[in-house]
Amino acid sequence: MAALRGAFWLIATLIVFGWLMSDNEPYGTSSNPTPSLPIIAPQPDATFNKSRPPDRPTEPVSSATWLYATANVRLRAAPHAAADIYRTLFPGEPVQLIASDGVWRQVIAGRQTGWVHADYLARNKPVIAPPTPPAAFVQRRPPTTQGSTGTPIRSPYTGRCDCPYDRKRNGHRCGGTSAWSRPGGRSPVCYVGE
């Protein structure tokens, strides 16, 4: 507690000493007021851009022009491909044009200002096709061999009773116990013409 009191008195002494060393006039009564320093706002490029500055001055745009991104394109900090990336613009996203520098355009996208390559901007909103749904699964039947109707389409398997002519593990024919013979469930194709 004593250290806190000591710190308070030290600060109070410094404030009084500073006032005594000044003009000894109360605030606002000095005949020679201290000039106020201009406030310099940080520039966006100076704060966020760690890349090199543009080589030439930009050309301002006279009126508000809206453009649209035509593809997924990166919003960059400066007008060159090696500049820092702020974010990605999506197809059809509107941006407001501010200035131009060769093939680069300075735009406002949302609340961010950055540079986009002019090849990825258009005056008309692009028509974006909806994504195509995946094709439905189509079960393909195995190709049939040449032959008359009722001819087996393949040679018999052993250990798998899909068709009546397949063989069980003990070597006997599947016959009526095959999946083809039983109603309901799977119905494999076993004969030509099915």
**Per-10-residue mean pLDDT for the chain, 194 residues long?**
77 75 53 51 48 51 78 92 92 91 91 92 83 62 56 84 86 85 79 78
DSSP 8-class letter at 176? G
8 Å CB contact between 168 and 159: yes
Measured between alpha carbons, how far is 82 from 51 in angstroms, rounded to an integer?
8
Say what the pLDDT of residue 19 is: 63
pTM of the predicted structure, to 2 decimals = 0.39
Which CATH number among 2.60.40.10, 1.10.10.10, 2.60.40.1930, 2.30.30.170 corresponds to the domain 45-122?
A: 2.30.30.170
Upper half-sphere CA count for residue 110 (Cβ side, 13 Å):
8
| Positions of CATH 2.30.30.170 in the chain | 45-122
Could you tell me whether strands 59-69 and 73-76 are parallel, antiparallel, or unpaired per DSSP bridges? unpaired
- The whole-number pLDDT of residue 165 equals 87
* Encoded tokens for 31: 């005949």
The CA distance from 120 to 92, in Å, is 10
